[in-house]
Amino acid sequence: MQPSQLRLETYHFTKVMVAPRQDAKMTPAGRYADFNNVEFESEVSIGELDNADEPDRHKTLALKLSVHPSANSSFPYDIEVGAVGIFDVSEVVSDKRDVMLLVNGSSMLYGALREALLTLTFRCSHGPVMLPSVNFVLLEKQYLAEKDAKAIAESADHRAVQPT
């Protein structure tokens, strides 16, 4: 094992909402709520941290999760949670920073949200919820596709303003 080049320095929760559904039944003892028939969504965004001394050292990452059961779901809660982390990216190669932050940073914050939600719902009326295991690899593909599309659009805009 070795230390990660991407280091989570601190994080805080930006939203914690767990609302028991009136018509849901309590999760049986020793089990976790079933994620079948739920709308489970995530939103991830990268930000800059204002730090005049070392402008390229830190980045922020925000992760928001929402779980909303469908009408026929037995899932016991409506859930919205979010966190923002401050990451030291100074040891990551500059052209790989955003991708590493998206994939690995999201995984770090997801783990924090997963544990906090499990701890919180153990004391809730309908029983515990543990977020399912996920990965954030698709964020890399989406990021690279958006970056390519932006480069193509900028190239087309640049060609459009060239004198003929």
Mean pLDDT of 54-71: 91
Tell me: pLDDT of 2 over 70: yes
Q: What mean pLDDT do residues 74-90 have?
A: 95
Q: Percent of the chain scored above 70 by pLDDT?
A: 93
Give the per-residue pLDDT at 155: 74
Q: Which of 141, 19, 17, 145 is nearest to 75 (CA)?
A: 19
Q: Which residue would you say has higher pLDDT here, 73 or 43?
A: 43
Q: What is the mean pLDDT of the chain?
A: 89
| CATH fold label, 7-160 | Bacterial Protein-export protein SecB (3.10.420)
Domain-wise residue ranges, the chain: 7-160
User: Are 104 and 91 within 8 A, CB to CB?
Assistant: no
Which pLDDT value is given to residue 163? Answer: 58
| Rounded percentage of the chain residues whose pLDDT exceeds 90 | 60
pLDDT in tens, 118-135: 999 999 889 999 999 999
Q: Which residue has the higher pLDDT, 164 or 53?
A: 53
Rounded to two decimals, the pTM is: 0.86
SS3 state of residue 115: helix
